Structure 1
C-alpha cells in the first residue's frame, strides 16, 4: 500500500493495527519511511481517563505519551517495510524523561528518528513536545511479530 504524507487518521489507521480507543496518533505531518517521522496527537478533553488522572487536575499519563511516540515510530518503520498493519511490541524504554505535563486540549508533536532497524528489531530516538517545550523523550526498542 502506498500512503502519501502528510496524512490524517485514515493514513494512520492504514499503517497501524491499533483501533479506537487506543490510537494515539491524530495525523502524520511528515515521514521519510524508515528514517524519521513527525506526527501529532490532539489530546481530547473528553477522554474518560481524565476523570481519574487526576480529578480536578487532569494530566495525560506518561505511559500514554510513550505509547503515542511508539505508534508514531511504528508508522515510520511499517511504511518503509511495506508491512502496514503488522503488530509490533514495545520491548524497552531507555532514558525516559518527563519534563512537561500534557493536559486536555494540548496538541502533542511526536518526533522519532529510527536509529537502528533490522528484520525484527527497531530502535528509535523519540521526543514529544507541546508548544515547543519538551514533554517527554526516550530511546525506545520494538520487535515486530
Structure 2
C-alpha cells in the first residue's frame, strides 16, 4: 500500500511546514511502515541551522520517524481519527549529518503495544545506505 501526501494527511493531523514525511511505500497497519523524506534546501529550518552549513536538526529526523509511526498505528481502523503523542524517546543516536538534497528512507516497526501505549523501533537511512538516526519511540494514543 503506497500513500502520498493527501492520504498521509487523512491519517495524521500534521500539516506544512511540519509534515515531515513525503510518501509511505510500505504499510502494515499496527505493525510497520516504510516511507521517505526528501530534504530540500528550501526547508525553513535551514535558514538558521546552520547559516552557510545547512544540517537537518536531529530532533526533526526523530519527528519524521514518529510521524511515520503515527501513520502505522493510526491506520488501524480502531485508531482512525485519534492522535498519537510522544511519550518518550529512548536510545536516540545520530550517525550521519542530513544535508539538503538527501533522501531519507524512514522505517519503523511497532515492537510493543498495550492499550493506548506503544513502542516503535525506528531507523532513518540516507540514499547512500548509511544510517543517519536510530531511536526507540514510545507513543500514547488519545
- Which TM-score band applies after superposition, normalised by the shorter structure? over 0.9
| Superposition pairs of residues 64-75 of structure 1, within 5 angstroms | 64-75=60-71
RMSD: 1.1
- Normalising to structure 2: TM-score of the pair? 0.95
Helix, strand or coil at the partner of 1:14: helix
How far apart are the structure 2 equivalents of 1:41 and 1:84?
Answer: 23
Q: Deviations over 1:8-58 (max 9, x none)?
A: 111111110111111011000101111111000111211121011001110
Helix, strand or coil at the partner of 2:75: helix
Q: Give the equivalent residue in structure 2 for 1:109.
A: 105
- Normalising to structure 1: TM-score of the pair? 0.93
- Residue 82 of structure 1 deviates from its aligned partner by 3.9
Are the equivalent residues in 1 in contact too, given 2:104–2:124 (CA < 8 A)?
Answer: yes
Structure 1 spans left out of the alignment, 5+ residues: none
Tell me, yes or no, if structure 1 residue 129 matches structure 2 residue 125. Answer: yes
Alignment match of 2:141 (pick from 116, 130, 144): 144
Runs of 4+ in 1 over 6 A off after TM superposition: none
| Superposition pairs of residues 1-145 of structure 1, within 5 angstroms | 5-131=1-127, 132-145=129-142
Paired residues in the alignment total 141
How far apart are the structure 2 equivalents of 1:16 and 1:84?
Answer: 9
Are the equivalent residues in 2 in contact too, given 1:28–1:40 (CA < 8 A)?
Answer: yes
Are the equivalent residues in 2 in contact too, given 1:17–1:86 (CA < 8 A)?
Answer: no
How far apart are the structure 2 equivalents of 1:48 and 1:96?
Answer: 24
